[in-house]
A and B are shown apart, each in its own frame.
Chain A
Amino acid sequence: MEVFAVQEDIATKIVDQLGLTLLESNRKVLASRPTTNSKAYDYYLKGIRGVRRDYWALPELTAAAANLDSAVMIDPSFALAYAFRSRAYTLLAFASPSAVYPKIARESFEKALQLQPDLSYGHMAAGIFFNLTETDYDRAMTELNLAFSELHSDADLVANIAFVHFRQGRFDEADESFSKAAELDPLNPAIHAWRSQFFRFRRMFSEAEQSVDRAISLDPKRPYYYLEKLWGYNSHYGDWNKNREVVREALSHVDTLEFVWTILPSIVSVNGLPLDSLFAGHTLHSAFFDRFRKEYRQKTDAYLFYQSLAQGYREAGNAALTAVYFDSARMGTEKQLQKVPDNPYLTSGLGIVMAYLGMCEEAVELGIRGKELLSIAKCHW
């Protein structure tokens, strides 16, 4: 296809002019044609950005998955698109527990490797799948190491290796790999945010703040980065004024509703920081809830939507609606849990909902089960 021929020609000329010698593996990559269909390639290009840059952002991942679906539908022999499709669905499965997403993720990397057994990105996708979906670190590292021999300068791969080490509690190796990933791709905000999380976990708060500030300066409109900063500030200072600094910074770049939506399931629900205090007396008016209901019902899973609404009404001091929405959250979470019975996040989440509803026996049972499913020893993240 013309576009690939031009791309290879330009790259080869640059290499020649610089007097460089290409390794055989690099030459192979340059000469490869991932697809002969330009339309499939366009969808692939749109899809990979969401996967490589927006690790945990649900709307971007959903869009990325749809683009990669289109790419493989148009060209069913497009191995590289299958590899990235697998990654999109692995991340979706993590962000939004489902029985369907892991199945598509597994089928996609298997298909990629069936089409092209030595495809490094296929092995990378398999490694990420085993890490995030199966919590099988040994298998994850085997696959990621297979990819590493060719992609050792790929920041995205190195960051994912760091992440496995982080979850395993191998902190020195994680530190080294995160640092290398940030050097390889200093303009990737997601890697800096990830590294910040790692520093925060190690209680290295100055380093955490530096990393998250880099992420914010590179992509100030991403609400998740302010959540990360807020977590760090809360752990470091335990001070309302410091927390409010972050909220003010966030609100100067991000829509209020989007920010509230981002922090409700985590820093508000689990860390117990009341919105009123974070927003310094700002009251959540009914118009706010109307907008929330209108804009977020379609964007998110029912159980999470109801849990967030319940927390919001709890914040606003509306006991009746709090109970109603916690009960809806209970039903939604139970339904979701039937589809993915061993999901630790859903199990623990249902435990909290039950506790709010006064169903203590069930709440404690679920809480213990959730802890067993993902103990600190099993995952240090």
Chain B
Amino acid sequence: MVMAIIYVKCGDFDKALNELEELLSQQTNYTVNDFKLNMDLEPLRKLPRYQEMMRKYAP
């Protein structure tokens, strides 16, 4: 998650999304719900890849 936040803050949204995908595809502490309210991920919300990821990993 830390890596995703760093990439968002530095404007590298593609790499941030890679990090989020990694978190969701493996057994980790995170679910899509953890991303929904995270203010640091705000810049990613409108991106189609983010929206697709949220659908794909929805519980």
Contacts and interface: CB of A to CB of B under 8 A. Distances in A.
Nearest to A370: B2
Contacts of A234: 33-34, 37
Interface stretch (A50-58, A178-186, A351-359): A351-359
Nearest to A314: B39
A115 interface: no
B interface residue count range (under 10 / 10 to 19 / 20 to 34 / 35 or more): 20 to 34
B57 to A, nearest CB: 11
Contact of A274 (B1, B12, B32, B39): B39
Given A169-B27, A201-B27, A351 B2 contact: yes
Contacts of A348: 2
Interface in B1-47: 1-3, 5-7, 9-12, 26-34, 36-41
B32 A360 contact: no
A248 interface: no
B33 A363 contact: no
Interface stretch (A41-49, A150-158, A236-244, A250-258): A236-244
A239 B36 CA distance: 8
Contacts of B7: 364, 367
Interface of B: 1-3, 5-7, 9-12, 26-34, 36-41, 59
26 contacts: A200-B29, A201-B28, A203-B31, A234-B34, A235-B30, A236-B33, A238-B31, A238-B32, A238-B33, A243-B37, A271-B37, A272-B41, A274-B39, A348-B2, A351-B3, A351-B6, A352-B5, A354-B6, A355-B6, A356-B9, A360-B6, A360-B11, A367-B6, A370-B2, A376-B27, A376-B28
Given A235-B31, A243-B37, A273-B39, 14 more contacts: A169-B27, A201-B27, A201-B29, A203-B59, A238-B33, A239-B33, A270-B5, A271-B38, A272-B37, A349-B2, A360-B9, A363-B6, A364-B6, A368-B3
Interface of A: 169, 200-203, 231, 234-240, 243, 270-274, 277, 348-349, 351-352, 354-356, 360, 363-364, 367-368, 370-371, 376, 380
